[in-house]
Structure 1
Amino acid sequence: MSSRLSISVVLATYKGAPWLNAQLDSIADQLWVGDELIISCDGGLSEDLEIAERFAKAHPDLRIRILSGPGLGVVRNFEFALSQARREIIVFCDQDDVWKPGKLDLYRHGFREENVMAMLHDASICDADLHVIEPSFYQSHGSKEGFWNNLLRNSMIGCCMAVRKEVVDASLPFGKIPMHDQFLGLQAYRMGKVVFSPKNCLDYRRHGNNASSLKSSSLQNQIQWRLQLIGALLRHSVPKQKAKSR
């Protein structure tokens, strides 16, 4: 294994213009030569595309790929963008957050351990203007490690997560799932080790129009979503050399 792991940052956008510039600026200085940034603008929205294209033009030294998403919602947009990622480590990125310095360095260091299939970090929950509401997502959410804990109550939010490409390869196409990040996190547990780092690497912006919600869903929806996840996990086998008991 190379001592210098390459990274694909996968950013899915949809009506992200109010926040996209700040997110892209927070990413730019963390990318190394050989890394790539994939920006999938869902539905071909011109304003998102214009921002992405201006950013790419202003950073000719970075490897940036701008794609037109399938226009089928956040899960399918991420599914499409992830299918285009080519690097060893794949980092999920939402359009409305802001990265703190050292986020990608955390992943570069942590994934040197070969059996680590996914890594997560803590985040500050912020309002639309990035004023801190809760200093720790882990504490606010009651985050717990473990496959069964995260099947029952998910703590693996994509904006704070990265996985090895093997996890994505073993998980596409998704089929019917409630959200991509929980599914990929559970797949990572099936394949090896998942690390929850205590480091806070993100301002997690909550502005009322987020694709994901921190509020509890109805019991009926929770049961339905977990049945979908279990069905997807049963449909997707994992490489035998990575499989492990929990």
Structure 2
Amino acid sequence: MATYNGGLYVRNQILSIIGQTYQDWKLIIHDDGSTDDTLSIIKELVHMDKRIQLIEDGMKKNGPGGNFMHLLQYSDAPFCCFCDQDDVWLEYKVKAMFDEIQRYDNTIPQVVYANGYTWFSSKCLIGSRCASVFPKSLRELFFFNGGYQGASAIFNAKMRTCINKSYEYIAMHDQILNLSGVIYGNIHFLDKELFLYRQHDKNVTPHIVQNVKERMKKAMKNNKIPVLDKSYFEGIRAFYNVHKGNMRQEEVQCFEEFLAYPDYAFWKRIVEIMKRRYKSNNSTVYLLIKCLFRPFIL
């Protein structure tokens, strides 16, 4: 768990982990310099449950992605989950995901994603499922910004070794795990809703739109919001620079084609989307609409 000024939420999240039906776990927490009561809440819960460990190593200002990636060095468990500070896990989340990943060959890198529900706690409202698309190819992931939610994943020690590298830039840990799942060929999806993804005005990632109509309206209306945020584009570039030596030739070519995309003129970009069959929300047409109305990156 990576924390930063999460005092309003972190207690409920940790208590939801303590309440899991599967009890053989260890929670490792690193704080990124909170100025609220986050640390005092965590220390109180550390004294209550010895399975909770707070890492105080003096490292600060990594941002959420860097903080999560920094935490990987402290884990030696056979399986890991990223844990956001402001969600709530349903009591069977760990058990369901642990059972699912054990179905696969864990002598090689594996990652399993589940689903969750958006949760508007201030309105006492549980919304739609967090994810409606499940990308398994690079061309589906490139325009996915932060990627599939890291807090919905469980991954094995082999995958932890794959992603635990030194990157010149980290947009989000989710993106690194998503791309690794595709590159190393073992990404799976469990069709169950296992957590509540809290939506509030301090979310690091944007709120999840609740239906197709809202998604299309956003694509056409928000002409100042880029199709792909520059930070995520740079995250893809940084990932490629680290992992290209382990990629197949067709994957290298796929990355290089994409990384050249911002240099193209407007109509060349449109042609490239159709030629390469890039997708957003599992749709090339939807991506074309976004690109027609909005810039590619800031």
* Structure-2-length-normalised TM-score: 0.68
Q: Equivalent pairs: percent with the same residue?
A: 21
Higher helix share: 2
Residue aligning to 2:187: 194
Residue aligning to 2:67: 77
2:225 is aligned, of 215, 218, 222, to 218
**Which structure has the larger Rg?**
2
Residue aligning to 1:150: 141
Query: Where does the alignment leave 5 or more consecutive residues of structure 1 unmatched?
Result: 1-10
Deviation digits for residues 96-135 of structure 1, max 9, x if unmatched? 1100021111221111111561111111111133733523
Map 1:88-127; keep pairs closer than 5 Å: 88-112=78-102, 113-114=104-105, 117-127=110-120
Give me the whole-angstrom Cα distance separating, in 2, the residues matched to 1:122 and 1:138: 6
Map 1:27-66; keep pairs closer than 5 Å: 27-30=17-20, 32-33=23-24, 35-43=25-33, 45=35, 47-60=37-50, 62=51, 64-66=52-54
Check conservation: 1:124, 1:132, Cα contact below 8 A: no
Q: 1:197 to 1:220 in 2, by over 3 A?
A: closer
Pair 1:184-2:174 in alignment: no
Give me the whole-angstrom Cα distance separating, in 2, the residues matched to 1:22 and 1:95: 9
Amino acid of the structure 2 residue aligned with 1:163: F
Higher strand share: 1
Pair 1:138-2:128 in alignment: no
Give me the whole-angstrom Cα distance separating, in 2, the residues matched to 1:21 and 1:220: 35
Give me the whole-angstrom Cα distance separating, in 2, the residues matched to 1:12 and 1:167: 19
Give RMSD over aligned pairs.
Answer: 2.7
1:175 is aligned, of 136, 160, 168, to 168
* Structure-1-length-normalised TM-score: 0.81
Query: Where does the alignment leave 5 or more consecutive residues of structure 2 unmatched?
Result: 209-218, 252-298
Residue aligning to 2:235: 228
